[in-house]
Amino acid sequence: MVGRTVVITGASAGIGAQAALQFARQGDDVVLLGRSPTKLAAVSDRIAEATGRTPAQYACDFADLSDVRATGGRIAATYRVVDVLANNAGLIAPGRSTTVDGHDLTIQVNHLAPFLLTAHLEPSLTAAAAARVVTTTSAAHSVGWLDPDDLDFERRRWSSWRAYADSKQANVLFTVELSWRLRQTQVSATCLHPGLVRSDFGRGNRLFGLVKRLSPVGFVAPSQAASHLVRLATAPEGLAVPGGYFDSARLGAATSRATDPDLAARLWAVSERLT
């Protein structure tokens, strides 16, 4: 299982950076994606120091779908085979913001951008002997009420938590539909709630910051959360339950709405149109 090509988004900090280091230490060739070239370079230097191999780096802004298309195309052209795609990048916006593509920032970064990147890398994934797509979601998906016909909250009231919960529900639905569409290939798709993580995630969001300050118990280090991602991309359980939702190290139970095949198919059709 070593020596694989592993593409990791959100690799410039937090879970993504730690997962990249863990993958590299076990002998995999990691491909780093992140918005900040400076932060990516720092992670790359750390991996090179630990392993003697310098990983590839791609600066990519998920708030710009043209950048995602270009980066996805470059990676697909460079790597005929991709063994693991870790859709890990994500955010919770401190305030309402619209991307250059006209979409809600949270929905685009957390769902539409990884949806588009996965589509570009699908030929490389299906070329692998046993590829895995692991998408980082959240237990917050359980309070989402995603409407595929109103992803950008043009008709519904927006809040940062509502947009985040919807985007995390979209991650689970995406995994369900991707698993169905690739059922006749050797690609296994799963999603992961890594737990509450002590990182810079959510910085700038007042409520999220308050939770971290008032309830520090239960938060895990980024390296521990990353180990769950690496295990899901490496161990047999990552293949045993296609479309599965994992809570930290164990198979969990996503809500019925997040695993509704009809809703998953509707979201996929809308996402294709929007991207």
Q: What is the CATH number of the domain that holds 235?
A: 3.40.50.720
Of 101, 174, 108, residue with least CA distance to 136? 174
Q: What is the pTM of this model?
A: 0.92
Q: Which pLDDT score, from 0 to 100, does residue 196 have? A: 75
**Active site (catalytic) residues:** 164
Question: Cα–Cα distances in Å, from 99 out to 51, 65, 160, 265?
Answer: 38, 9, 15, 25
- Which of these, 138, 140, 132, lies nearest to 182 by C-alpha position? 132
Residues 6+ apart with CB under 8 A from 155: none
- Token pair of 159 as six digits: 């809040």
Beta pairing, strands 56-59 & 245-247: unpaired
**C-alpha distances in Å from residue 187, one per residue of 124, 145, 175, 216, 229:** 10, 28, 12, 37, 16
Q: Give the pLDDT confidence score for residue 195 in this predicted structure.
A: 82
Residue 113 DSSP one-character state: H
Residue-range definition of the domain harbouring residue 163: 5-274
In this predicted model, what pLDDT tens digit does every residue of 155-213 receive, in sequence order? 999 999 999 999 999 999 999 999 999 999 999 999 999 887 655 554 555 655 555 44
- Other beta carbons within 10 angstroms of residue 87's beta carbon come to 29
Q: 155-171: b or e for each residue (b if 16 or more CB lie within 10 Å)? A: eeeeebebbbbbbbbbb
Question: Which residues in the chain land under pLDDT 50?
Answer: 202, 212-217
Question: Which two three-digit tokens encode residue 242?
Answer: 């296609």
**Backbone φ and ψ of 151, nearest 5°:** -60, -30
pLDDT at site 219: 66
Tell me if 161 sits within 8 A of 207, measured CB to CB.
yes
pLDDT of residue 237: 80
For the chain, what is the domain count? 1
Q: Would the CA dihedral through 164, 261, 65, 113 be positive or negative?
A: positive
